Amino acid sequence: MTAPSSDKVFAGSVPQIYDRLMVPMIFAPYARDLAQRIKGHRPRDLLEIAAGTGAVTTVLAAELPETRITATDLNEPMLAQARTHLAGKTNITWQQADALSLPFGDASFDIVACQFGVMFFPDRVKCYAEARRVLRPGGRFLFNAWDKIADNEFADVMQQTLRQMFPADPPEFMARTPHGYHDPQRISADLTAAGFRDIAIETLTLRSPSPSAQDAATAYCQGTPMRGEIEARGEPGLDAVTQRVTEALARRFGNGPIDGKIQALVISAVG
């Protein structure tokens, strides 16, 4: 299934809500893991694609102060939000760029990294081929992708609630795109088609903390492109949907701070 172009729209207040609520809840745990894997390779030059609001970039800048980091994203509003955290870091260059047509020369980087971005690319083999092109010989592509939505508890509760509220036409952004590219065989085949070798795919299960069910519901319903899908449905409206998801999360995980399972695939490939 080809994702609609709206799946890539992170605009308006979405980048701020995403950064404030979604990043610490589900992205920060995997950012720390990916950064540690990258650190072990001691890269001189690193390219990050689909950098978003800088979850991985923030950790890399601290862990690898001598590495030249080029952080890119298709969405300039997301990079603008990232810059608010990392404005003083002189080893980071920010650049708006399309991962399917990277504006860099061949063999420019030791590592290409991507945190939960490959699911959004309309032609993953082309993206992977671009990553391989800009890697130096023997360079490594390190990235992650969400496992199926049933293995990610907050997202699954949210999705089930929306299917109950909109049985004829539920918003499916989360299941369709972030959690829509989780077959290891498919990922491996796409990387192989792009010329990568020594492909390793690991399943990594972590925990997703949130200060409250309300924060988790707001993150998913208002801090992602799911927001546009919900608003397009009209009644009962974004606030009412967020409240229903809040109630569903509270029933499942309790009141006060909540904690749920998250699961992703971590992939390494040599160019």
Whole-model pTM: value is: 0.92
Looking at residues 106-115, what average pLDDT do you find?
Answer: 98
CB–CB of 152/262 below 8 Å?
Answer: yes
Reply yes or no on whether the pLDDT at 205 is more than 80: yes
Q: Mean pLDDT in the chain?
A: 93
Looking at residues 213-239, what average pLDDT do you find?
Answer: 95
Distance CA 34, CA 15 (A): 22
Reply yes or no on whether the pLDDT at 7 is more than 50: no
Distance CA 49, CA 52 (A): 9
Reply yes or no on whether the pLDDT at 25 is more than 70: yes
Distance CA 134, CA 146 (A): 25
pLDDT digits (tens, 9 = 90+) for 175-187: 999 999 999 999 9
Reply yes or no on whether the pLDDT at 9 is more than 50: no
Phi, psi dihedral angles at 217 (to 5 degrees):
-65, -40
Amino acid at 241: V
- Give how far Cα 115 sits from Cα of 70, 146, 185, 187, Å: 14, 10, 20, 15
Looking at residues 83-103, what average pLDDT do you find?
Answer: 92
Reply yes or no on whether the pLDDT at 67 is more than 80: yes
pLDDT digits (tens, 9 = 90+) for 124-140: 999 999 999 999 999 99
pLDDT band of residue 170 (cuts 50, 70, 90) is: very high
Distance CA 22, CA 219 (A): 5
Q: Give residue 6's pLDDT.
A: 39
Taking the domains of the chain in order of start, what are their residue ranges? 5-270
Classified by CATH at the fold level, domain 5-270 comes out as Rossmann fold (3.40.50)
Amino acid at 139: G
pLDDT band of residue 13 (cuts 50, 70, 90) is: low
